[in-house]
């Protein structure tokens, strides 16, 4: 089958779905092609923390109703080190901004429901997706459904297919410059049927390694431990995970981590990555397809949403006024935010993790940094303004 749309979007993650939703609100037609099934993307356990800017956008564009009901609004976070907790009052330091705990797959469900209710087209289980002719004005996307070949003609392609997608690797050699850093550790994450042990997130620096206490709801806790990059999950029975989390998160001898049934377990690699520019001809990359941040700053999803906001505005101006200026500036505009978020995510990661080749000096320096960040108003404010999300340009 051959069909046509204005914007062909590869990937139904936060970037692709939000873009399709924003374009629809501007009267621009799009088709989203997704390799996985609807059920798979609606259940995939990923991020959980939304910046104020992301929350505002979901509300302003009419997809924030469930988030308002089920999301947990947080006014602060805690940094734990040296056996003590230190609160960063995000709201007070940023003139009232907050962050919201609301699982990424819930955002995905809300966006899919909104697209379908508005008659939007999302093709799930699209096999062998490939992109063509994006060096000119008539790009095409080919894919297969149930063994049948299809071709989608469009004016623009949005590559929203994540880090392992097909769009970025389809750009000819020599066009992109890649910048990256791979960290010598990973995160072992669990989701557990346990009441959160604190009302707020706890980022812990410990001589045995980093740990993070987060949550999804009043009865589901989300926890992470720094581990080796090649760690084998089979070496981590639940009891061992709980014992290690208890050790690293403890503040004072009486602090006790609530335990419960572990319902999901996984290992996340940690990397920083940027591809520049985020555009080639009529192909625009957005979200993880263009950049990856380590999860310590909780920025990946938020950055994906920020990119497509810039892209939607540029496409809207193009279709309404035949003006390509914002499209031409897409990459430059996004990259200013991307690099600030890269810096913040790298900084949080460097401050909170144990690096195997660090010596006693480096460890003292990390503790001094944590002490400074939690005792200086200027330093706490720097953390807070980045954590709740820098303003959109």
Tell me which of 9, 33, 93, 201 binds ligand RFL, using CB under 6 A.
Answer: 33
Spatial distance between the Cα atoms of 189 and 46, rounded to a whole number of angstroms: 10
Dist CA 17 CA 327 (whole Å): 19
Asked if residues 287 and 303 have their Cβ atoms less than 8 Å apart, the reply is yes
Interhelix angle 330-352/300-321, rounded to 10 degrees, is: 170
Residues 188, 224, 204: CA angle, nearest 5 degrees? 130
Distances (CA, A) of 336 to 276, 316, 331: 11, 21, 9
Interface stretch with ligand PHB, choices 68-76, 137-145, 293-301, 331-339 (CB under 6 A): 293-301
Which tokens go with 66?
């469930």
Question: What is the C-alpha radius of gyration for the chain, rounded to an integer number of angstroms?
Answer: 21
* Binding mask of the shown chain, residues 1 to 40, with x at each position contacting ligand PHB by CB under 6 A: ----------------------------------------
**Nearest approach, Cβ of residue 120 and ligand RFL (Å):** 16
Q: How many residues bind ligand RFL (CB under 6 A)?
A: 35
- From 298, 334, 351, 384, residue interacting with ligand PHB (rule: CB under 6 A): 298
Q: Are 282 and 288 in contact (CB under 8 A)?
A: no
Q: Which positions from 69 through 128 interact with ligand RFL, judged by CB under 6 A?
A: 104, 126
Work out which of 214, 280, 374, 386 binds ligand PHB, going by CB under 6 A.
Answer: 214
Query: Is 203 a known active-site residue?
Result: yes
251 binds, among ligand RFL, ligand PHB, none (CB under 5 to 8 A by kind): none
Which of ligand PHB, ligand RFL, none sits in contact with 12, Cβ below 5 to 8 A by type?
Answer: ligand RFL
Task: Say whether residue 48 binds ligand PHB (CB under 6 A).
Answer: yes
* Contact indicator for 273, 291 with CB cutoff of 8 Å: yes
Residue 243, by phi and psi: left (phi above 0), alpha (psi -120 to 50) or beta?
A: alpha
Task: Please state, as a whole number, how many other Cβ atoms lie within 10 Å of the Cβ of residue 69.
Answer: 8
Asked if residue 204 lies in contact with residue 211, where contact means CB atoms within 8 angstroms, the answer is: yes
Q: Decide whether 145 or 251 has the Cβ nearer to ligand RFL.
A: 145
Of the candidates 102, 143, 203, 205, the residue annotated as catalytic is 203
- Spatial distance between the Cα atoms of 109 and 43, rounded to a whole number of angstroms: 9
Distance separating alpha carbons of residues 291 and 79, to the nearest angstrom: 27
- Residues, the chain, total? 393
Binding pattern for the stretch 157-186 against ligand RFL, x by CB under 6 A and - elsewhere: ---xxx--xx--------------------
Query: Of 171, 304, 306, 310, which lies in the binding site for ligand RFL, with binding defined by CB under 6 A?
Result: 304
387 is catalytic: yes
Orientation angle between helical segments 377-387 and 330-352, nearest 10 degrees? 130
Nearer to ligand PHB, 87 or 313 (CB): 87
State the catalytic residue, choosing from 14, 21, 24, 74. Answer: 74
- Candidates 272, 296, 316, 331; binder of ligand PHB (CB under 6 A) is 296
Residue 296 near which of ligand PHB, ligand RFL, none (CB within 5-8 Å, type-dependent): ligand PHB
The interface with ligand PHB within residues 49-78 (CB under 6 A) comprises 49
Q: Do the Cβ atoms of 22 and 118 come closer than 8 Å? A: no
Q: Using CB under 6 A as the criterion, which residues of the chain lie in contact with ligand RFL when the complex forms? A: 10-16, 33-36, 41, 46-49, 104, 126, 129, 160-162, 165-166, 189, 268, 287-288, 295, 298-302, 304
Annotated catalytic residues are 74, 203, 295, 299, 387
Site residues, ligand PHB (CB under 6 A): 47-49, 201, 214, 222, 295-296, 298
């Amino acid at each position: 089958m051959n069909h046509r749309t204005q914007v062909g979007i590869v990937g139904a993650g936060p970037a692709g779905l939000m873009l399709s939703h924003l374009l629809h609100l501007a009267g621009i037609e799009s088709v989203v092609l997704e390799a996985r099934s609807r059920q798979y993307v609606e259940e995939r356990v990923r991020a959980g923390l939304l910046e104020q800017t992301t929350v505002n956008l979901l509300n302003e564009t009419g997809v924030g109703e469930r988030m308002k009901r089920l999301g947990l609004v947080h006014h602060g976070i805690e940094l734990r080190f040296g056996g003590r907790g230190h609160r960063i009052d995000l709201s007070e330091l940023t003139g009232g901004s907050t962050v919201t705990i609301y699982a990424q797959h819930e955002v995905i469900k809300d966006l899919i429901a909104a697209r379908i209710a508005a008659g939007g087209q999302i093709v799930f289980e699209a096999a062998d997706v490939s992109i063509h002719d994006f060096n000119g004005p008539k790009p095409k996307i080919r894919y297969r459904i149930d063994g049948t070949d299809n071709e989608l003609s469009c004016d623009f392609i949005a590559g929203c297919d994540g880090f392992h997608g097909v769009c970025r690797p389809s750009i000819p050699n020599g066009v992109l410059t890649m910048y990256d850093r791979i960290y010598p550790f990973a995160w072992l994450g669990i989701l557990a049927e346990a009441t959160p042990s604190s009302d707020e997130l706890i980022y812990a620096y410990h001589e045995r390694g980093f740990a993070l206490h987060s949550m999804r709801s009043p009865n589901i806790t989300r926890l992470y431990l720094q581990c080796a990059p090649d760690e084998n999950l089979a070496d981590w029975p639940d009891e061992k995970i709980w014992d290690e989390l208890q050790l690293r998160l403890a503040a004072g001898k009486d602090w006790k981590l609530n335990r419960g049934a572990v319902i999901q377990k996984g290992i996340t690699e940690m990397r920083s990555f940027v591809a520049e520019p985020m555009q080639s001809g009529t192909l625009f990359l957005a979200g993880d397809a263009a950049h990856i941040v380590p999860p310590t700053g909780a920025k990946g999803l938020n950055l994906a949403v920020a990119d497509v906001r810039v892209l939607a505005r540029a496409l809207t101006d193009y279709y309404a006024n035949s003006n390509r200026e914002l499209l031409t500036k897409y990459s430059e505009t996004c990259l200013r935010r991307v690099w600030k978020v890269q810096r913040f995510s790298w900084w949080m990661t460097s401050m909170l993790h144990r690096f195997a080749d660090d010596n006693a000096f480096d460890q003292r320096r990390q503790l001094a940094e944590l002490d400074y960040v939690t005792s200086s108003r200027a330093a706490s404010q720097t953390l807070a303004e980045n954590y709740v999300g820098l303003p959109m340009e």
